[in-house]
Amino acid sequence: MRHVPALLLLLMVAYVLFLTMAEAPAFGVVDVPSRNLVVDRYLDPDPEETGVPNAVARIIFDYRAHDTLGEATVLFVAVGAAAAVLVGRPGPFATRPVTGTDDPILRTVARLVIPFVQVYAVYVITHGHVSPGGGFAGGTILGGSFVLYLFVFGPGRAARKLSPARGEMVEGLTALWYILVGLGGLLLGASFLANAAAGFPLGVPGKLLSGGAIWLIGLGIGLKVAATVANLFLHLAGES
């Protein structure tokens, strides 16, 4: 039985996890240890500190914008590494990459659907500070519309819409944009990636053009994620 060590390990992990669960507070209780002073600060009903009502956007693009810069870098590096692995001479067992389809139904439906998907993506990106969504989700949807085009019309035509070189340029420029917004905080006399403390105009909370640096960074992240997704799928489909 070659699975015996694996099952033993599994039993050990299960024992520890169930022990932890037995000690955990019951589901749905308000006063759990994770709900502390910091969370109250994040959920401050008066949005003068950040200027946006969405508490998750506050954390991601303002209070912990440094972490998001690191996260965006991880995405950048991972997709760059994937592209670096995939380019180069194909091995002896290489199979036919994606070629697209001639099916008229798929082509017509894709033509009809893609504009609506893109409008929705722009909506999600630009309203990330007042409603759920934001740069990561909206950017993925925008990239997803490109992936739909790639699957239906083939990687050759998709690369003519957005070549890998141009995608990489968008990726690099939006990463630079994030850092420039952060340096803007430094230039205005506050810390790196500061928002209200640096004097970015916050606007009226709840309106579209509000939130200062949060809105600017969200826009950059949306474009960056879209370019990253498009590039990744171009490389995986064998178009480099």
Partner 1 sequence: MEISLGLFLRLNYLVAITLFLIGLHTMLTHSNLIKKVMGMNIMETGIFLFLVSIGYARQSLAPIVDQGDGVIYANPLVSAIVLTGIVIAVSTTAYTLSMIVKLYERCGTLDVDRLERLRT
Partner 2 sequence: MITLFGVGCLVFLVVCALVVARTRDLLAATVVFAAYSLVMALVWQQLQSPDVAITEAALGAGITSLLFLLAIGRTRRTEDEEG
Q: Of the two residues 57 and 162, which places its CB atom closer to partner 1 in the complex? A: 57
Candidate residues 9, 180, 183, 186; the one interacting with partner 1 per rule CB under 8 A: 9
CB-neighbour burial class of residue 26 (10 A; exposed 0-12, middle 13-18, buried 19+) = exposed
Gap between the Cα atoms of 81 and 85, Å rounded:
6
CB of 121 to partner 2, least distance (A): 9
* Partner interacting with residue 192 (select from partner 1, partner 2, none; CB below 5-8 Å by kind): none
226 neighbors 166 (Cβ within 8 angstroms) = no
- Binding to partner 1 (CB under 8 A): which residues in 151-190? none
Q: Does 134 engage in binding with partner 2 (CB under 8 A)?
A: yes
149 neighbors 98 (Cβ within 8 angstroms) = no
Q: Does 147 engage in binding with partner 2 (CB under 8 A)?
A: yes
Q: Tell me the angle at which helices 65-86 and 164-187 cross, rounded to the nearest 10 degrees.
A: 160
CB-neighbour burial class of residue 236 (10 A; exposed 0-12, middle 13-18, buried 19+) = middle
Q: Does 203 engage in binding with partner 1 (CB under 8 A)?
A: no
Q: Does 71 engage in binding with partner 1 (CB under 8 A)?
A: yes
List the structure tokens of 123.
């909506």
Q: Does 162 engage in binding with partner 2 (CB under 8 A)?
A: no
Number of other CB atoms surrounding residue 19 within 10 Å: 10
CB of 191 to partner 1, least distance (A): 20
* Partner interacting with residue 165 (select from partner 2, partner 1, none; CB below 5-8 Å by kind): none
Number of other CB atoms surrounding residue 113 within 10 Å: 13
Determine the interface stretch with partner 1 among 110-118, 119-127, 130-138, 162-170 (rule: CB under 8 A). 130-138
How would you label 202-233 residue by residue, b for 16+ Cβ within 10 Å and e otherwise?
beebeeeebbbbbbbbbbbbbbbbbbbbbbbb
Residues within the interface to partner 1 (CB under 8 A): 3, 6, 9-10, 13-14, 17-18, 21, 24, 26-30, 32, 34-35, 38-39, 42-45, 47, 53-56, 58-60, 64, 67-68, 71, 74-75, 78-79, 81-83, 85-86, 90-95, 130-132, 136, 205-206, 232, 235-236
Residues within the interface to partner 2 (CB under 8 A): 27-28, 54, 56-57, 94-95, 97-98, 124, 132-134, 136-137, 140-141, 143-144, 147, 151, 229, 232-233, 236-238
